[in-house]
Chain A
Amino acid sequence: MRNVGIIGIGYTPVFVSKRKDVNIPEMISEAVDNAFANTGLTAADIDAVVFGNMQTFEGVNLPHLWAADYIASLGKPVMRIATGGTTGMSAFHAGYYHITSGLHDVVMVVTYEKQSEGDSQVGLMGIITPELMAMLSAGIDVTGGSGMGAIGGGSAGGISFQASSYLHHSGAGIEHIDAQAALERRNAAKNPYAHLKDPEATAEKIAQTPMVSWPIRFGHICPTSDGATVAILASEKAAAKIADKVAWVHAVANCASDATTANLIESQITDPAEQMPAIIASRQAYERAGIKDPKREIDYVEIYNGFAHQALMYLEKVGMCEVGEAHKLQEAGELEMSGRMPVNASGGVVSTNAIGTSAMNRVTECALQILGRAGEHQVEKEVHKALAHGWGGLMQYVTITILGDKPKKG
């Protein structure tokens, strides 16, 4: 396997609720241009393109082909990836495979979501439509008043079962979810590419937002954002010629499980807070990266948390701390940008969620921390190795990427 590094990153100038001034390809091209401007590369340097966005959200079936000339892919291999919330990191992994396999030397990974042009709730409903139809025919009460009709609406409804179980098993309280949301919205205020920013956010302020589905409050939930992110990857040989500073890929891994809460028709066999895929994928990634003690060797973590509690839950699942310890680290201030285990200095997905980019941004934000180019949200400690986590599907799919400041040995 050949070493692969991130040699360039591009973002749209902003991640916001509605980009009314551009259409989908125009918005994507802003991130492509930004990546070219940051690296001095041009379309001629790119061997192949991987494209990722969430299926169904904008109702555009072939965005990678609509945008072909906007993503510098004319006459080049193109592959679209869609795995749900994890799409951005799956696309990144595909870019990695393109190069580590020896097929290509320089690959551009393009991810986007323009949620203002679609309806993400309809998109999410589409995920469970067949099961819902079957349950309706079996007499389910769609208003949720009785029988097995207590369906939580969309992602927030399902996720509340996860949060509830997580709180029970970890000993954390809803106040820790409030505090995590506040911490990340404060971090977001320092990130020019974040969406919901609040430099004055506090747990008390978050606690005043309406309860949506216990224990999840409005303030715990990600926004829907418009934005695009691009990463340019290169082989070690190509990087030596065309890049100055590189964040190196040390390992990629992914793992799936069963559909948990959303599997109405064949029943649920897994606790949505168990998250076995996160445990399996992170352990595989550590092995591939030669990491023996992640708590000591990983300096920085970006967790995909569409909902604030997930930052705490996944820190435990990926082995950055023991079960029941994450909220204690939070209380001690260790998860802050100045702490010993900084997490989501970017503001996390809970602050910015253009879904196709969300798992990708976990990787690019880890890269910026390693390169020392995160600007105002650069963490205080030195970052040599970082872990990026992606989450999606029907609760049951996790992607992991480990980056380092030096090429991986062996």
Chain B
Amino acid sequence: MMEETRIVQGTWDISTFKFRIEGVGLRRMLENMKEGKLVGTKCHQCGMVYLPGPFYCRKCHIEINEPAEVSDHGEIMTFTIGYADVRGNPLEEPRIAPVVKMDGCDSWIMGVLQGVKPEEVHVGMRVKVQWAENLTGSLQDMQYFVPE
């Protein structure tokens, strides 16, 4: 019916790009991850809690800077299942990638889900963060999600 093509070649020098967008909310989130905590930013006007947070409320369009700790438990809002790695090679085990709304938070974050079969994952499923053994203040600290 159609020809499937897959081309992977060459290099992309990403150091060419110098963007200054390390946000105050992301910095705060990373700092608190050293303690195994998830800390977002709350809008003092509408109460919206972001994780990580922008320096302004995206709904009210006012500056915000109020830390708000959220739970490391949450609910799967949507998900996908990947069958190939970033180079297009088949994965040994399919990789489940949920988008999760943490309890006490209004925004969603992406991650990897382990400890569940692909056919068992569903929207609305309860999950929790599996923290790394050594916390370093990196996004890697939040290793993956596991079922609650």
Shortest beta-carbon distance from A78 to chain B in Å: 30
Which chain A residues border B48 with CB–CB below 8 Å? 269
Q: Collect the chain B residues with CB atoms within 8 Å of residue A147's CB.
A: 111-112, 138-144
The yes or no answer to B62 lying at the interface (CB within 8 A) is no
Closest to B2 in A: A196
Contact of B30 among A138, A160, A211 (CB under 8 A): A138
In the assembled complex, the CB of A90 is this many whole angstroms from the nearest CB of chain B, namely: 24
Distance of A164 Cα from B69 Cα, bound (Å): 29
Give min CB distance, A155 to chain B, whole Å: 13
Please report the C-alpha to C-alpha distance between residue A149 and residue B143 in the assembled complex, in whole angstroms: 10
| A26 at the B interface (CB under 8 A) | no
Decide yes or no whether A173 CB sits under 8 A from chain B: no
Contact A258 B26 (CB under 8 A): no
Q: A148-B139, A268-B109 are in contact. Are A161 and B30 (CB under 8 A)?
A: no
Does B108 lie within 8 Å of A268, measured CB to CB?
yes
**Contact A143/B143 with A265-B23, A267-B53 known, Cβ cut-off 8 Å:** no
In the bound complex, how far is the Cα of B91 from the Cα of A212, in angstroms?
Answer: 12
Partner of B50, one of A146, A149, A218, A267: A267
**Complex interface bits, A226-262 against B, C-beta within 8 A gives 1, otherwise 0:** 0000000000000000000000000000000010010
Once the chains bind, are A267 and B52 in contact (CB under 8 Å)? yes
CA–CA, A112 and B53, complex, Å: 39
B95 close to A (CB within 8 Å): yes
Select the residue from B23, B51, B122, B124 with max chain A CB neighbours within 10 A: B23
Which A residues touch B141, using CB under 8 A? 139, 147
Contact partner of B80 (CB less than 8 A), chosen from A160, A205, A268, is: A160
Question: Could you tell me the distance in whole angstroms from the C-beta of B28 to the nearest C-beta in chain A?
Answer: 12
Question: How far apart sit A168 and B136, CA to CA, in the bound complex (Å)?
Answer: 37
Measured CB to CB, the closest approach of chain B to A156, in angstroms, equals 10
- B109 touching A148, Cβ below 8 Å: yes
**Complex-state Cα separation, A151 to B123, whole angstroms:** 18
Binary contact readout A126-169 vs B (1 if CB under 8 angstroms, 0 otherwise)? 00011101111111111111111111110001001110110010
- Whether A139 contacts B139 by the Cβ 8 Å rule is yes
Which of A143, A218, A264, A271 lies in contact with B86, CB distance below 8 A? A143
Q: Is the CB of A164 within 8 A of B78?
A: yes
B144 contacts A138, CB within 8 Å? Answer: no
CB of B107 closer than 8 Å to a CB of A = yes
Q: For the complex, is A177 an interface residue (Cβ under 8 Å from B)?
A: no
Given known A-B contacts A139-B138, A164-B79, A266 and B30 have beta carbons under 8 A apart: no
Compute how far the CA of A148 lies from the CA of B118 in the bound complex, rounded to whole angstroms. 19
User: Interface code B24-68, partner A: CB below 8 Å = 1, 0 otherwise?
Assistant: 011000100000000010000000101111100011000000000
Contact of A265 among B1, B52, B59, B94 (CB under 8 A): B52
Complex interface: chain B residues within 8 A of A140 (CB): 139-140
- Check if A269 sits within 8 Å of B82, measured CB to CB: no
> Is the beta-carbon distance between B21 and A269 smaller than 8 angstroms?
no
- B residues in contact with A325, CB < 8 Å: none
A201 within 8 A of B: yes
Q: Which residues of A contact B2 (CB under 8 A)?
A: 196, 223
Roughly how many angstroms separate A152 CA and B83 CA in the complex, as a whole number?
11
- 8 Å CB contacts to B: which residues of A108-133? 122, 129-131, 133
Once A267-B107, A269-B107, A272-B78 are accepted as A-B contacts, the answer to whether A146 and B123 lie under 8 Å apart by CB is no
Q: Give the complex CA separation of A129 and B17 in angstroms.
A: 8
C-beta contact mask, A265-299 vs B, less than 8 Å → 1, else 0? 11111011100000000000000000000000000
Shortest beta-carbon distance, A396 to chain B, in Å?
Answer: 12
- Would you call A129 and B19 a contact (CB within 8 A)? yes
Chain A hits for B58, CB < 8 A: 258, 266, 269
Contact check, B95 vs A130: say whether CB atoms are below 8 A apart: no
User: Which A residues are CB-close (under 8 A) to B19?
Assistant: 129-130, 133-134
B23 engages A144 (CB within 8 Å): no
Residue of A nearest to B99 (CB): A161
Partner of A131, one of B21, B112, B142, B144: B21
Say yes or no for A66: interface residue by CB 8 A criterion: no
Contact B21 A267 (CB under 8 A): no
Q: What chain A residues lie within 8 Å of B59 (beta carbons)?
A: 269
Q: How far is the CB of B109 from chain A (nearest CB, A)?
A: 6
On whether the beta carbons of B26 and A265 are closer than 8 Å, the reply is: yes
Tell me the bound Cα distance from A214 to B98 in angstroms: 11
Give 24 A-B contacts (CB < 8 Å), ordered by A residue: A134-B19, A134-B22, A139-B136, A141-B139, A149-B139, A151-B110, A157-B82, A161-B80, A168-B78, A168-B123, A212-B84, A213-B80, A214-B80, A214-B83, A215-B80, A266-B53, A266-B54, A267-B50, A267-B52, A268-B108, A268-B109, A269-B58, A271-B77, A271-B78
Residues in chain B within 8 A of chain A (CB atoms): 1-2, 4, 12, 14, 17, 19, 21-23, 25-26, 30, 40, 48, 50-54, 58-59, 77-86, 94-95, 97, 99, 106-112, 118, 122-124, 136, 138-144
Beyond the given pairs A215-B80, A269-B48, 15 more chain A to chain B contacts, judged by CB atoms under 8 angstroms and listed by A's residue number, are A134-B22, A135-B139, A139-B139, A139-B140, A143-B86, A146-B140, A150-B95, A164-B78, A168-B122, A168-B124, A211-B83, A213-B83, A261-B99, A266-B54, A269-B106
